[in-house]
Chains A and B, each alone.
Chain A
Amino acid sequence: MAAASLEDQENRKAWGFVTPALLWTICFFVIPFIVMTAISLATRTGREIVMAWNFDNYITFFEKAHLLKGLFVSLEITFTVTIISILLAYPLAWIIAERVPQKWQRMALILAVLPFWTSYVVRSYSWLLVLAKNGVINNTLIWIGVIAEPLEMASTRSATIIGFVHFFVMLLTLTIYANLVQMPPNYRRAAADLGANGFQVFWHIVLPLTLPGIMVGAFLTFVLCIGDYITPQILGGNNELALPQIIMLQLGRRADFPMAATLSIVLMGAVTLAYIACARWLKMERT
């Protein structure tokens, strides 16, 4: 009897802790998501939104090549950014964790995340000035005689990727660094004692143990990058539209909330698939 009462008490306590988070999620995620899904099943007639409860907007999305292309542009940019960011962040995190003396590591991390302190928009516009025809890079390359004519870098997909990578390398550095410093040095020593060379130690010991950090950082990069509107808008020069830009066009120019909701659901679908892949992989790693 007493045990049951204690269990009830524990249950009530657990619900007490969980309820605020649950309410928050219901109010600010579940309900808006249901509303957004419902709106995506409506149609816009004139300036009116009529609840049609059909999938016309989804069919339109797959029928109109310029809308579908938005998803592919977003995915291509996001995958490219994620891969380049991992390739740059890993060595940076490694250097901070392994080569920088411990007393300087905190300072190195602060320096690594320093660009976080500036506004995201300002940072994007700054990149535009750096990459412009008369920008820092072109002027320097011309001055030292590497090129005769300025390179076309601003208002391109490359510019968008550079802007994104600059931001996400910092994020990935933090998640990978956290994994590297938690790794007991004995593992590497043991591998070395057993005859593994430097590359083998990295490939068979260090990399597998830091993969969770990479995956978590990669997932965050994927989510933030695929939903970003500002960077492609400023640095891409509107030369191709990512899905968030198309969503903004539906809202800003056409007040077509049903189509905007449809595209948002598609975007969420892509993020959900990425999450499932990431979660399954992490689960597989643990088993």
Chain B
Amino acid sequence: MFRHVSTGITRKKLLTGAATIIVGAVAVATQPNPAQATEELNALVWCDHTDPALLAPFEEKYDVKVNLKEYEGTGAGLSIIEQSRPGDWDVFVIDGVDVHRAVDMGLLAEIPADALPTSDIFPEVVMAENNVVDGKTYAVTEKFGYNTISFDKTKVDPKDMEDMSVIWSDKYTGRIAVYDYYLPVIGLVGLGLGIDTADLGTDDMPAIKEKLFAMKKVAKQVGEVVSSQTALATGEVDILVGGGEWITAVLSEDKPNLDWIIPKQGALRWAQSIGVMKDSAKPDLALKFVQYILSPEGQSKLATSSCYWGMPANAKAGEHLNDAQKAALRWNDQAGYLKNSQLYPIPDENLDAQMQDAWVEMLQQ
């Protein structure tokens, strides 16, 4: 009743095939594989740290697997920490202006000042007033850049971009994207109204709200990093409010038509800091990671990360960057840019709630 069905595979072929698979599996298994590293490090980061080219040298050197969780905006980061157990995270990348907030919440550990290459960091971005609390260093600036206006110089008049009011004028209606992060964009709108970020208060919110709504009226979309960058790169929009070198530099080779500018009213300067979590079970390894990120090699890779580019905080990173990369980052123009830019607003709880409400209201317009 049983029929023999030939599969066309001889025993010899079967054995040869099996042997090949086993040899292949053994070869793969014996390759250095971070997934099988002896230790693991958990870092809560911005997306630029997720570039494998950045992590590989550290993982190989210390035989460690770095597990990353990326987030956008300090509120989101703190929300993730609140939903985690103490000790879940070893390293925390945070907006430079929010380091105090994290220290007040008891999240960051003190870092020995002599363990960091502070003297190599551009003096303007050391930001001791942010990274140091009561004389103790809790974080260190690792990268910085600008939230300003990115644009396609072949499709808009670059002269128009020199004035912040272009973001709410109707000249480019339907051709503007807005980066979906309330702090820098509200800061930019404030600058457009002549309000310094450090002075921004609840009294300014009605005027800011009015301009936000006007901006939304002429904008085509409000999106996070990827969708904003895609919209600008694909020609879906010609202007990106809140953009900067971090949006255009990574595309500099393929899209030389994309440019960015700091308007006459100024721009927002973002600076990201990195620190070791207070409850980390591996503080030494976490510190080594911080030191690697701050090293010239780590800095050059972080500056040119596949997610977004930005100026490295360590001036010595320049030795590892080529001329084209430096040109895309505007390495030689930083002195002027630093002078004409301000840090993010640091709202208290009440102002932060008002800003977020205004942002959601704007989105619903």
- Chain B residue contacts of A239, Cβ below 8 A: 221-222, 363
* CA A238 to CA B227, docked complex, whole Å: 11
Q: Is the CB of A241 within 8 A of B363?
A: yes
Binds B, one of A22-30, A50-58, A251-259: A251-259
- Chain B residue contacts of A249, Cβ below 8 A: 356, 360
B203 within 8 Å of A (CB atoms): no
Q: Is the CB of B78 within 8 A of A255?
A: yes
* CA A187 to CA B74, docked complex, whole Å: 65
A212 within 8 Å of B (CB atoms): no
Binds B, one of A64-72, A140-148, A271-279: A64-72
A210 within 8 Å of B (CB atoms): no
Q: Is the CB of A240 within 8 A of B76?
A: no
B206-222, CB under 8 A of A: which get 1 and which 0? 00000000000000111
Chain B residue at minimal CB-CB distance from A68:
B364
B293-315, CB under 8 A of A: which get 1 and which 0? 00000000000000000000000
Q: Is the CB of B227 within 8 A of A254?
A: no
B105 within 8 Å of A (CB atoms): yes
A99 within 8 Å of B (CB atoms): no
- Picked from B79, B180, B182, B363, the residue with its CB within 8 Å of the CB of A255 is B79
> In the complex, how many residues of chain A place their beta carbon closer than 8 angstroms to a beta carbon of chain B?
28
Q: Is the CB of B364 within 8 A of A241?
A: yes
* CA A24 to CA B364, docked complex, whole Å: 38
- Chain B residue contacts of A255, Cβ below 8 A: 75, 78-79, 82
Q: A46-B349, A133-B236, A237-B222 are in contact. Are A254 and B356 (CB under 8 A)?
A: yes
A118-147, CB under 8 A of B: which get 1 and which 0? 000000000000001110000000000000
A154-186, CB under 8 A of B: which get 1 and which 0? 110000000000000000000000000000000
- Picked from A47, A132, A234, A246, the residue with its CB within 8 Å of the CB of B236 is A132
Q: Is the CB of B234 within 8 A of A246?
A: no
- Chain A residue contacts of B361, Cβ below 8 A: 65-66
- Chain A residue contacts of B253, Cβ below 8 A: none
Q: Is the CB of B236 within 8 A of A154?
A: yes
* CA A64 to CA B353, docked complex, whole Å: 13
B235-261, CB under 8 A of A: which get 1 and which 0? 110000000000000000000000000
B60-98, CB under 8 A of A: which get 1 and which 0? 000000000000010110110010000000000000000
A76 within 8 Å of B (CB atoms): no
Q: Is the CB of B220 within 8 A of A240?
A: no
B171-215, CB under 8 A of A: which get 1 and which 0? 000100000101000000000000000000000000000000000
Q: Is the CB of A155 within 8 A of B76?
A: no
- Chain A residue contacts of B234, Cβ below 8 A: 132-134
* CA A65 to CA B73, docked complex, whole Å: 25
Most chain B beta-carbon neighbours within 10 Å: one of A237, A239, A251: A237
- Chain A residue contacts of B129, Cβ below 8 A: none
Q: Is the CB of B220 within 8 A of A134?
A: no
Q: How far is the CB of A123 from chain B (nearest CB, A)?
A: 16
* CA A158 to CA B79, docked complex, whole Å: 33
B283 within 8 Å of A (CB atoms): no
- Chain A residue contacts of B174, Cβ below 8 A: 152
Q: Is the CB of A238 within 8 A of B105?
A: no
A225-254, CB under 8 A of B: which get 1 and which 0? 000000000100111110000100101111
B34 within 8 Å of A (CB atoms): no
Most chain B beta-carbon neighbours within 10 Å: one of A69, A134, A253, A255: A253
B223 within 8 Å of A (CB atoms): yes
Residues of A within 8 A of B (CB): 46-47, 64-67, 69-70, 73, 132-134, 152, 154-155, 234, 237-241, 246, 249, 251-255
7 contacts between A and B (CB under 8 A): A132-B236, A133-B234, A155-B231, A155-B236, A241-B364, A255-B75, A255-B82
Please give 7 more A-B residue pairs, beta carbons under 8 A apart, in addition to A47-B78, A134-B236, A155-B220: A46-B349, A47-B82, A155-B223, A155-B236, A237-B222, A254-B79, A255-B79
Q: Which 5 A-B pairs have the closest CB atoms?
A: A237-B221, A255-B79, A238-B222, A155-B221, A66-B364
